[in-house]
Amino acid sequence: MIKLENIVKIYKNNEIETIALRNINLEIKEGEFVAIMGPSGSGKSTLMHILGCLDKPTSGKYFLEGKDVSTLNDDEFAEIRKRKIGFVFQSYNLLPRMKVIEQVELPLLYAGIKSEERRQKAINALKASAFPDNFWYHYPNQLSGGMQQRVAIARALVNDPILILADEPTGNLDSKTGEIVLDTFQRLNFEYRKTIVIVTHEEYVAKHAERIISIKDGEIIDDFKVKDRIIINNHNKK
């Protein structure tokens, strides 16, 4: 489903060139749960931005569902992000003035979906991310970090994307609430067959995925199946 061919990304700043990605070749199949792991400055965030159609590679090709998307313009990029990709960020990025249910509806607003259908889809997404229904009409500042992140997951899920990208989704959470979030991802992967890519620098977090891609200095140094994978499977508890 995802295929990267010779992806190079070079940042230019005041005549100084920084090579963020050297020569990335990568394939991710539909329904896979992948962790991209590496220390800070390794280029893993740049890779995620390219995967998420937030940034264009300097050279190389990116095929998403067989279509080369590395040459599209800004609006076409926005269209792909809207229809095919869901983002989860380290700092949740919820809007402070919106209720939980409205946060989840926001992507549907840009997709031009009617109000009633929006509400129904948002409810489904909140249920899928195991978000307790008595908090649907709360504001983000009334929720714990773990709950906020699950709102963000529901928001990433609501448009039924083919790919969910999570950038350090547990980075702001303690290990216990982090596990709840990882559990949610695993369940989305098992039950809804969602393709999930998590970017992290923690091995413990990466071990929740089925495959780990290690990168360092802009190059893939390792790509393997997780042998001792951690499966949480306790999502019925809060």
Q: With respect to other proteins, which residue has the nearer C-beta, 63 or 77?
A: 77
For strand 85-88 and strand 163-167, is the pairing parallel, antiparallel, or unpaired?
Answer: parallel
Choose the stretch contacting other proteins; rule: CB under 8 A; options: 18-26, 95-103, 203-211, 219-227.
Answer: 95-103
Q: Cα Rg for the chain, rounded, in angstroms? A: 18
Stretch that binds other proteins, among 63-71, 72-80, 190-198, 225-233 (CB under 8 A): 72-80
Candidates 8, 23, 59, 79; binder of other proteins (CB under 8 A) is 79
Please identify, among the stretches 33-41, 89-97, 134-142, 206-214, the one whose residues bind other proteins according to the rule CB under 8 A: 89-97
- CB of 75: closest distance to other proteins in angstroms? 5
Q: Which stretch, 36-44, 75-83, 128-136, 175-183, contacts other proteins (CB under 8 A)?
A: 75-83
CB nearer to other proteins: pick between 78 and 226: 78
Binding status of residue 136 toward other proteins by CB under 8 A: no
Give the x/- contact pattern for other proteins in 107-126, rule: CB under 8 A.
x-xxxx--------------
Which positions touch other proteins (CB under 8 A)?
A: 49, 52, 54-55, 74-75, 78-79, 81-83, 87, 89, 93, 95-98, 106-107, 109-112, 155, 159
